[in-house]
């Protein structure tokens, strides 16, 4: 196995160029803080684009007049855009303080600081009308536990909006794929050794790198086991593979997943 891993690593090292944020072909470097990297004049347009992509064109109707928790808010631009769309209160939650600082700057620039709060931990007893999680679900170590937390947070009529991608069987489902589906064809150790040439940090597994191998089937299983029912479910196909996309192939041809979840005891109401 070591010989196979070494051969795969050498192939990746000499044949594959890195792509993506934080990459340096001269070797690993620390990424810029979010507060410096993401501030720009087009931040609001970028937030709108992401919300439309993951939640659909009518996303603003879903948040208007609601209290919202943006779970895994990153740099907070979507949090602020949700506030601008008419949410009554928005809490942006993330583990990265630099991103939360950026969110506060966005909120101040948009003059909605009074509607937005950015935290690393939710205040005890937090209740909300809506939980939104964007491009974060595939990074949760325990999706079922996270969904149970969402359920405890919801007001009686509350719902969860989930938008994420790519899932594990996407061509770049490992988030560090040297080439499409390489994470399914080559050893994890070889890919992570190649990754260490260009990205900071030296995770030993995909999960240590924040990639939890979440498939579409695994997501739906987690929803069922956590006491939620799917009110709406949609998979968006990878554009060049849209001709191939169907129920049988969706694990391999889906670029993003959108779901509306309600507690199972309200599913028929």
Write out the chain's pLDDT in tens, 269 residues.
789 999 999 999 888 876 544 444 555 445 444 444 445 557 788 889 899 988 989 999 999 999 999 999 998 999 999 999 999 999 999 998 988 998 999 999 899 999 999 999 998 889 999 999 999 999 999 999 999 999 999 999 999 999 999 999 999 999 888 899 999 999 999 999 998 888 777 888 999 988 999 999 999 999 999 999 999 999 999 999 999 999 999 999 999 999 999 998 876 65
Residue 227's region, left for phi above 0, alpha for psi from -120 to 50, else beta, is left
Domain membership of residue 241 (yes or no) is: no
CB 256 within 8 A of CB 214: no
Domain membership of residue 36 (yes or no) is: no
Domain membership of residue 158 (yes or no) is: no
Burial class (CB in 10 A: 0-12, 13-18, 19+), 243: exposed
Distance of CA 68 to the CA centre of its chain: 17
- Cα–Cα distance for residue pair 217/179, rounded to 1 Å: 23
- Cα–Cα distance for residue pair 33/139, rounded to 1 Å: 20
What is the tally of structural domains in the chain? 1
- Cα–Cα distance for residue pair 186/103, rounded to 1 Å: 38
Q: Which domain holds residue 180?
A: 1-30+174-210
- Cα–Cα distance for residue pair 199/27, rounded to 1 Å: 7
- Cα–Cα distance for residue pair 265/269, rounded to 1 Å: 8
Domain membership of residue 261 (yes or no) is: no
Helix (H, G, I), strand (E, B) or coil at 200: coil
List, in sequence order, every residue forming a beta bridge with 263; answer none if it has no partner.
228
Q: What is the pLDDT of residues 74-113, one digit of tens each?
A: 989 999 999 999 999 999 999 989 889 989 999 998 999 9
Q: What is the pLDDT of residues 183-207, one digit of tens each?
A: 999 999 999 999 888 877 788 899 9
């Amino acid at each position: 196995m070591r010989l196979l891993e070494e051969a795969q690593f050498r192939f990746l090292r000499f044949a594959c160029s890195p792509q993506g944020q934080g990459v340096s072909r001269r070797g690993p470097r620390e990424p810029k803080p979010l507060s410096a990297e993401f501030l720009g004049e087009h931040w609001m347009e970028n937030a709108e684009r992401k919300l439309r992509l993951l939640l659909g064109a009518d996303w603003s109707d879903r948040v208007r007049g609601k209290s919202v928790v943006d779970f895994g808010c990153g740099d907070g631009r979507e949090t602020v855009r949700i506030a601008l769309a008419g949410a009554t209160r928005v809490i942006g939650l993330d583990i990265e303080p630099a991103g939360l600082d950026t969110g506060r700057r966005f909120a101040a620039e948009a003059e909605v600081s009074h509607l937005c709060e950015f935290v690393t931990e939710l205040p005890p007893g937090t209740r909300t009308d809506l939980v939104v999680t964007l491009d974060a679900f595939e990074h949760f170590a325990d999706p079922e536990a996270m969904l149970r937390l969402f359920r405890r947070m919801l007001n009686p009529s509350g719902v969860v909006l989930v938008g994420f991608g790519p899932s594990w069987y996407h061509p770049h489902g490992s988030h560090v794929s040297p080439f499409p589906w390489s994470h399914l064809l080559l050893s994890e150790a070889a890919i992570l050794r190649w990754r260490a040439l260009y990205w900071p940090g030296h995770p030993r597994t995909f999960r240590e790198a924040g990639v939890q191998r979440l498939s579409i089937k695994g997501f739906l299983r987690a929803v069922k086991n956590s006491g939620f029912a799917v009110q709406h479910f949609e998979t968006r196909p990878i554009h060049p593979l849209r001709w191939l996309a169907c129920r049988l192939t969706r694990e391999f041809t889906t670029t993003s997943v959108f779901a509306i979840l309600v507690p199972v005891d309200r599913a028929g109401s």
